[in-house]
Chains A and B, each alone.
Chain A
Amino acid sequence: MALSLTCPICGLRNGYEFRFGGADKGPRPLEEGLTPAQWCAYAHLNTCVAGVQLEWWNHKDGCGTWFVARRDTRSNREVPKEDVQ
């Protein structure tokens, strides 16, 4: 329950309003020439960073937008943009 997130449209809101969309792994790979292993890695493997991770979140009970948040997985808190680097 501790999480609260900043929606780019609605501002700081309770974590309950959002749906997790996985770590930010970059755009979908090209389908041409993709091996099953490469595909599986993109679709299912996660690095599970202990630290600040870029993640997709959906403001499902709000405006509905998907956005990237920076979350410290150790404290389960959102990290402001300027603190990342």
Chain B
Amino acid sequence: MKRNLLMNRLEHLPTLRIQPRQTLTIRYNGKNLRGYAGDTVASLLYGCGERIFSRSLKYRRPRGLYSLDGECSNAMMSVDGWPNTNAETTPARHGMVVTPQNVVGSLEWDPMGWMDHLAFVMPAGFYYKLFHKPARLWPLAIKGIRQAAGLGKLQPEATFDCRCDAIYPNTDVCVVGGGPAGMSAALAAAENGLRVVLLEARPHLGGFCDYRVRAEKGGMPLYQWVGALADEVRATENIRVLTHAPVVGVYPDQRITAFQRGSAADVFDLRYIEIAATSVVVATGCIERPLLFASNDRPGIMQIGCAHRLLHTYGIRPAANAVFSVAHDLGLEAAIDMHDQGVTVHCVADAREDGQDPQMLSALAQRGIPHWRGWVAQVAHGRRQLRGVTLSNLTGTFKKRIGCELLVASAGLTPLTGLVTLAGGALAFDHHTGFFLPQRLPPAVQVCGRIRGLHDPSSLSADGTLAGLRAAADCGLNLNREIARAEAAGAAAPGAVRGSKLAMAPGKGGKAFLCFDEDGTVKHVQQAMAQGFDVPELIKRFTSIGTGPGQGGMPGHNLPLVVAHSQASPDSDPQPTTIRPPLVATPIAAYAGGKHDMAKRTPMHAEQLTAGGRMERVGEWYRARRFGADPGAQDEIIGVRTNVGLLDASTLGKFRIFGPDAVKALQRVYVGDMTRTVPFRTKYAAMCNEDGCVIDDGVVIQTGENDYYITTSTGRAGQTVEWFRYHTRYDSWDYHMVNLTDAFGVINIAGPNARQVLAAVTDADISNEAFAFSTCRDLLLRGDVPVRAMRLGFVGELSYELHVPASYMAAVWQMVETAGQSLGIVHFGLEAQSTLRMEKGHVILGSESEQRTTLHDIGLGFLWCRTKPEAKTVGGAALRHTADQPGRLKLVGFKMEDPRSRAPRDGSPIVDARIRGYVCTARFSHALQEPVGMALVDDDLVRPNTRLGIYEDGCNGTLRHAMVVPMPFYDPKGLRMRM
């Protein structure tokens, strides 16, 4: 019955931000709960009667709704599998699945609740001290603590369907805060023709005026006033408004990072924002300072803004009856509105002796609501939920207990100065406002509004306008007259409001929580101080107060106040703790971004799929591993060795390099002598890094005067141009490079019948005499398709590599397939290619080499020309120094002792008493009818017939044995590729 009653929302309030006609349902803890479009998860749950939102970190105390802006971890829940999602800032969406966190049983009854009674053994710093000695207990202790502590559960197997995005806007002025001051600043800058980005953490503009109907500006209720301002802002073309976008950090040069949550109508769920601005206006306003008293964390105790916004923004009566303990006129206003919407307000305790708005006082009196000056909440009663409160005067001499469902408690306001500090500004405690106020500001940073202690709407608007003009001046506009006028207007408006200095209610401070996230109490602070900690910064570390998900937000002001209050000289100014980004808890996904997987497909992707190709990801490409069920691809291998095969090698890096100094650049980057190229002869060449480690191999072909065509391995294609330019950066050489990797596809026709296939598609003379091994020809296929053909021998057979303009690839592929049909041409993929080249002892960099492998180690030292020191070859010096270096892993070929056994797995370690190397690639060789492989082994194991012990995963210590043999395994004289 109670629940039904609470389902009813106040539907006709002008300030509502929900759509009462648009209902939605979420799944919470196994129940279906109904809310409205515009609800947050928290407001929906509260509207459905949920009061306990979580259990606390350490003591497992029940916690309820306290703020509505995600300032503490009370409302952290798991939403659609995302742990630690703050229900207060997460819009409710139909079908959402929400579960509470940090609970063993249920929220109402948690078997770990007994932790609360152990509070006396968990004083400040207990974690550091209790389990410190003896050391052997530490692993046990840490295990228990880890199971009980921590917020939320990671789900490593979960996949999140989150649309992530990122934007990097440039702007003249960035205004942070969409309240009256921020909007006025944005308008002032925009009116002067500047581009403005306005960031607001809440889903809508208006700030602390958005839900207020009683106070007025110019005869207009505040919600109407800010509504009109917001309309004006949205109608201004040069203001870009980003709502639901809390700021995360500020960096030098006015760089601001934020993230934004999108609605269903947006193209993103989560968006990282990085703004480059010329000037920044900080108009972040205030949050409330929690009132410190015993059990101030009971569900049913909330801040003024929380209660007020539940009522006016979401149309929820927070309770049937309430007591207020406040220290600001905003509290009186909320009490009046609450009364007018049918909540019985028993009384308003006001920590201030004087200074109240007389209009508010008379409004309270008219409604018969008692207003007690100099009184404050001292103890909250009730266990799982609030049952009542004991109020007392400030000295604690008089007390009165009142039963209530709701206690609206607040010690005053505290400005959100995090951005100012991060931008490099300094803060100083101000005795009039009781705030840490910005003192020295860095260049091109302006502050305005409540952050400066102002409160009156006309002051906020004047201050915002002034800040907007100053920001415009930061951008280079001359606005001296306008600024002088705005300064005068600001001076005429009401100044900063005297703030409440109340540090804490009378009492000992036990269970008076400064920090809900970390269960840190006033008593913990006192314990830390008793042990000699006297600086808030250190007390923060020792007690972990303010280190939870809410960061310094809530305790950031109270901690220095309590410390100053408890110090011997109570007049000493409180010192703020340091603020660091992120200012708000930011989902990692905001940084990680969306799925960045941008795989490339060769022009032959579709054709290979049709031919039965099993595609897999190789670097950034999709390539065919094999064309059939056999993982060893035997049919493909036999096809190439005995007949002819067709391979798509389009992923090869392909470049043209030309210009008078092109050969110098080649000399610098390739280890061979590039001055000795013969036109249209392929030269196999390698590149090393500065350490002589081999990073790339390919062919270099001189195609004209000062004109070269080079190929690189697939993986290096992207970095090649940068590599050339880097290593010639001091030389001002005149050469140019064009990356042709995507402009050309590559078809490899390999096998003893390859010439027959090529002859069928070209009229050119391709006899062995006219087109010999190791040469290159530009041919026309079928009379008009230009291709560059090379005779290479990677797989060890007669082979032609056709470099074809990408747009002709499909046509040429089909031509070759058709020409080979009568011969029974086969498709072959990476698996067959890898086995074929391995039988030839040809390396694939990355398979037969790793980071530390030099050119000498894999037996390619002959590619290095040691007689060109004047070229200052990259890696040349290191190749000289390592040519005979002992103690290196060297590449060897091996056969298994038992030729009938299977090939060992790639990567298996080679061991005797210790690890001596590893297997690079090993396969069953069709040509030899036994397994063969290549391995990198210690240099004392390289002699033929050396016995190698191979350790395989799961071998249980039983080694398999192989013998070192000379390479290549197949056609050692290389006759077949020269046929």
Query: Which residues does A use to contact B, with CB under 8 Å?
Result: 1-2, 4, 14, 19, 21, 26-32, 34, 36, 39, 43-44, 56, 58, 60, 64-66, 75-77
Q: Does B837 contact A (CB under 8 A)?
A: no
Q: How many angstroms between the C-alpha atoms of A81 and B131 in the bound complex?
A: 56
Residues of A within 8 A of B721 (CB): 64
Q: Is B877 a contact partner of A34 (Cβ separation < 8 A)?
A: yes
Asked if A39 meets B881 with Cβ closer than 8 Å, knowing A30-B869, A31-B869, the reply is yes
Q: Is A31 a contact partner of B878 (Cβ separation < 8 A)?
A: no
Asked if A56 meets B729 with Cβ closer than 8 Å, knowing A14-B276, A31-B877, the reply is yes
Q: Is A36 a contact partner of B881 (Cβ separation < 8 A)?
A: yes
Residues of B within 8 A of A76 (CB): 252
Q: Does B888 contact A (CB under 8 A)?
A: no
Q: How many angstroms between the C-alpha atoms of A63 and B9 in the bound complex?
A: 59
Most chain A CB within 10 A, of B725, B870, B877, B878, is at B877
Residues of chain B from 245 to 261 with CB closer than 8 A to chain A in the complex: 251-253, 255, 257
Most chain B CB within 10 A, of A2, A21, A75, A76, is at A2
The residue in chain A whose Cβ has the minimal distance to the Cβ of B251 is A2
Q: How many angstroms between the C-alpha atoms of A69 and B872 in the bound complex?
A: 25
Rounded to whole Å, the gap between the CB of A70 and the closest CB of chain B is 15
Q: Give the A-B pair count, Cβ closer than 8 A.
A: 62
Residues of A within 8 A of B116 (CB): none
Q: Is A66 a contact partner of B726 (Cβ separation < 8 A)?
A: yes
Asked if A77 meets B252 with Cβ closer than 8 Å, knowing A1-B257, A43-B690, A66-B729, the reply is yes
Q: Is B873 a contact partner of A31 (Cβ separation < 8 A)?
A: yes
Query: Which residues does B use to contact A, with CB under 8 Å?
Result: 168, 251-253, 255, 257, 274, 276, 690-691, 721-722, 725-726, 729-731, 869-870, 872-873, 876-878, 880-881
Asked if A66 meets B725 with Cβ closer than 8 Å, knowing A1-B274, A31-B876, A43-B690, the reply is yes
Q: Is B872 a contact partner of A28 (Cβ separation < 8 A)?
A: yes
The residue in chain B whose Cβ has the minimal distance to the Cβ of A13 is B276
Q: Is B276 a contact partner of A31 (Cβ separation < 8 A)?
A: no
What are some 29 contacts across the A-B interface (CB < 8 A)?
A1-B255, A1-B257, A2-B253, A4-B255, A4-B276, A14-B168, A19-B722, A21-B726, A26-B730, A27-B730, A27-B731, A28-B730, A28-B872, A29-B872, A31-B869, A31-B873, A31-B876, A36-B877, A39-B877, A39-B881, A43-B878, A58-B725, A60-B722, A64-B721, A64-B722, A66-B726, A66-B729, A77-B252, A77-B253
The residue in chain B whose Cβ has the minimal distance to the Cβ of A32 is B869
Q: How many angstroms between the C-alpha atoms of A2 and B876 in the bound complex?
A: 38
Rounded to whole Å, the gap between the CB of B594 and the closest CB of chain A is 16
Residues of A within 8 A of B726 (CB): 21, 56, 58, 66
Q: How many angstroms between the C-alpha atoms of A69 and B6 in the bound complex?
A: 64
Rounded to whole Å, the gap between the CB of B425 and the closest CB of chain A is 16
Asked if A31 meets B251 with Cβ closer than 8 Å, knowing A43-B690, A64-B722, A66-B726, the reply is no
Residues of A within 8 A of B251 (CB): 1-2
The residue in chain A whose Cβ has the minimal distance to the Cβ of B871 is A31
Q: How many angstroms between the C-alpha atoms of A29 and B252 in the bound complex?
A: 37
Rounded to whole Å, the gap between the CB of A3 and the closest CB of chain B is 9
The residue in chain A whose Cβ has the minimal distance to the Cβ of B739 is A64
Q: How many angstroms between the C-alpha atoms of A29 and B730 in the bound complex?
A: 11
Q: Is A2 a contact partner of B872 (Cβ separation < 8 A)?
A: no
Rounded to whole Å, the gap between the CB of A19 and the closest CB of chain B is 7
